[in-house]
Structure 1
Amino acid sequence: MYSNPLNVEFGDPYILNNEDDTYYLYGTGGGAVDGFATYSSTDLVNWEFQGQVYKGNTEDSWAIDAFWAPEVYKFDDKYYMFFSAQWKNNPNNELENFKIGVAVSDSPKGPFEDLQNQPLFDPGYPIIDANVYQDEDGKFYLYYSRVAYKHPVESEVAEWARDKGWFDEIEESWVYGVELKPDFTGVIGEPVLLLRPPKTMDDKNAEWESRSVTSKEVNRRWTEGSYTFKNKETYYIMYSANFYGGENYAVGYATGDSPLGPFTKADNNPVLEKNTGKGGEVTGTGHNSLVFLKDINKIYCVYHGRTKSSGDERVVFIDELKIKDNGRLVVEGPTTEPIPKPLTNE
């Protein structure tokens, strides 16, 4: 048995399953300075700190600050880390100048070195939260979030907030997808808009995706932290909405017939959210990834959240995700009570 949260203070957790039955956990923070660290585990519950595996903010580095959301993939015996950071090329002194970089290593424990001394690409606006998916035809796709910074969008929610005298405008972050070059040195074609906050207040997803605005928390709506996978013939893209530093951070998903959509948001969203309204103590659940345990035919959702004891620190949770016969996703969490360990077939 085990119970959440795990003893790791990470935001934006991502788990790599290596061939030697060892799992590696990466995320934002977790003891790293100007970069990223990793933890290892053989049971997905007990994690051992392996040290810092990537360091930026050096004399030769393009990335200088705000090292966020690393994800590591193994392709052709090499390990590739996709991550977000502030770009030092900032002639207009923008407060948010985030771009996505790629670093490579021969080991999941690093050291990871920048593939090139520049971001992966520059779409003309700040971007974060890289996620990579390789389709069955071998093509690679990058998913990312355009941040809300200087991106005001008109919607019924924005009009409502303005009428109440709360906010003059509502900025939004949107999720895009684009094909990746197979050597990960750039992208192919133009990014495609995949997900954005609902335009109308009667949309089934408008209520939960707008809570940071309707609670008067902040004048932003987010669609970020995406994670894409395929089950049978359906492509799923999971995403997080609301302020990552607040209690309303939550996870939903959408489905489509191709890697670049179009995607339709599910009507049972959110599939992961705070449980304080039900007597629990978990808030701020979001930015998830998945672990596929093929030997026992189980899927686990890895995400961060906060509890009363963790305070402002984000800690890691892992709970089972099930795909129902009708294709709906259900995350059995957030949990804090003792439950069977993930690698047990119970």
Structure 2
Amino acid sequence: MAPQFDTAKFRFLSTDQRSRQPRKSYQTDVAFGDPFIVFDPPSDQYYLYGTGGTKNGFIAYSSKDLKTWKKEGKVYDAKQPNGWGEKDFWAPEVYRVNNKYYMYYSAHWKENPKKHLENYRIGVAVADSPLGPFKDLTGKPIFDPGYPIIDANVFRDKDHRNYLFYSRCCYEHPVESEIATWAEKKLGYKNIEESWVYGVELDSSMTKVIGNPVLLMRPPVTMNDAQSEWESRSVTSGEVNRRWTEGSFLVKENGLYYMMYSANYFAGANYAVGYATATAPLGSYQKSASNPIIEKNTNRGGVVSGTGHNSLFQDKEGKIRCVYHGRTLKTGDQRIVFISDVFFDEKGQLNIFTD
């Protein structure tokens, strides 16, 4: 279980118990993108982090019941001695480890001699409280793979090995595929840039990588791939010349690793979530035939679209829930936090109750 390494593990219910559980999905009043929730036993509260709400940093919300949220203010500020980020502070995730709280996040790196428009890297900050103040540990990104990266997710396995998952940005990453060939002929795009999900092991300090990153997931190459239709909607609709595989989140159930991810334009209606499974943290991963498992419902008479960048968390009763952002007809372009129940069926398929 990723969010709290030194406390209770995910307590997955049996199939019979899951079938009797009420399934709920609801919208909060918190305007965040890329939300992440953790339950903190010492304070008996939930804490919600995400993208937005402040400039050059992160704010947090607290709650006793997951429905009423209190704005707690800024918990990380880039203006600090070890601050390495310049702008675009995105997708924070917070983990409790040995009574310390570690925040992994994305930002635009100040060190940018080639003046890249997207110079994103991942950093880590630590605090004594879930409300901070979080202080950068190293004064620089965790590592520099030579290309921009975002959306950190950390997972500790039962053998106490740590893993960092992230997304290589689409920026300056054109990829040949049948989709790209089609888009060039039909839409006049010169190329299709893609983001890919990678994983790499972290050392015991959780601040340094071990070995080289491993490519875990990417958009489909062929048109007849079962995943091509939904993962390519932002391109085939003529919205943009990019395909995303981002916002990864890993969870383990019955010896199988489930990696959730988001595809399509993050600012568009087609943003959606799928998942893939593997028998080891670094793959290889097989995408689920049931994808996407979270997507817009406006085409079915609903009001929600742009659903994506999710994570899972365990509530105080042991139930597993999913948090993600979406847009509604009422909120327009503003991203709002949604919380839904999670269940695994008898076939081992991961399901998110969204309707």
TM-score (norm 1): 0.94
* Counterpart in the other structure of 2:6: none
Equivalent AA in structure 2 for residue 104 of structure 1 = V
3-state secondary structure, aligned to 1:159: helix
Residues 267-278 of structure 1 correspond to what in structure 2 (within 5 A)?
267-278=289-300
Shift of 1:3: 7.0
Distance 1:316 1:294 in 2: 19
Q: 1:37 corresponds to which residue?
A: 59
Q: Which residue of 2 aligns with 1:89?
A: 111
Q: Which residue of 1 aligns with 2:188?
A: 166
Does 2:68 correspond to 1:53?
no
Quote how far apart the aligned CAs of 1:184 are.
Answer: 2.2
Letter in 2 for 1:324: D
Distance 1:325 1:115 in 2: 43
CA distance in 2, matches of 1:279, 1:185: 46
- The reply on whether 1:26 has 2:49 as its aligned counterpart is yes
The number of equivalent residue pairs is: 332
Does the 8 Å CA contact 2:80/2:135 hold for their aligned counterparts? no
Q: Indicate conservation of the 8 Å contact 2:49/2:93, yes or no.
A: yes
User: Is residue 38–residue 314 contact of structure 2 (8 Å, CA) maintained in 1?
Assistant: no
Q: Closer, same or farther in 2 for the Cα pair 1:3/1:164, shift >3 Å?
A: closer
Percentage of matched positions with identical amino acids: 58
Question: What is residue 120 of structure 1 aligned with on the other side?
Answer: 142
Which sits farther off after the overlay, 169-178 or 48-57? 48-57
Alignment counterpart, residue 338 of structure 2, candidates 308, 314, 317: 317
Contact between 1:57 and 1:65, CA under 8 Å: does it hold in 2? no
> C-alpha separation between the residues in 1 aligned to 2:258 and 2:92?
20
**1:292 aligned partner:** 314
Gaps of 5+ in 1: 336-346
What are the equivalent positions in structure 2 for 1:54-69 lying under 5 Å apart? 54-57=76-79, 60-69=82-91
Specify the alignment match of 2:100 in structure 1: 78
Whether the 8 Å CA contact 1:166–1:216 is kept in 2: the answer is no
For residues 2-35 of structure 1, what are the alpha-carbon distances to aligned partners after superposition, in whole Å with 9 as ceiling and x for unaligned?
9732010000000011013200000000x22210
What corresponds to 2:226 in structure 1? Answer: 204
Give the match's secondary structure for 2:317: coil
Distance 1:294 1:190 in 2: 37
Normalised TM-score (structure 2): 0.91
Residue in 1 that maps onto 2:253: 231
> 1:196 Cα deviation (Å)?
0.2
User: What corresponds to 1:340 in structure 2?
Assistant: none
**CA offset at residue 293 of structure 1?**
3.4
**Do the aligned residues in 1 keep the contact of 2:25 with 2:339 (CA within 8 Å)?**
no
Q: Quote the residue 2:241 is aligned against.
A: 219
Q: 5+ unaligned residues in a row in structure 2: which ranges?
A: 1-21
* Cα 1:188/1:44, change in 2 over 3 Å: same
Q: Which residue of 1 aligns with 2:127?
A: 105
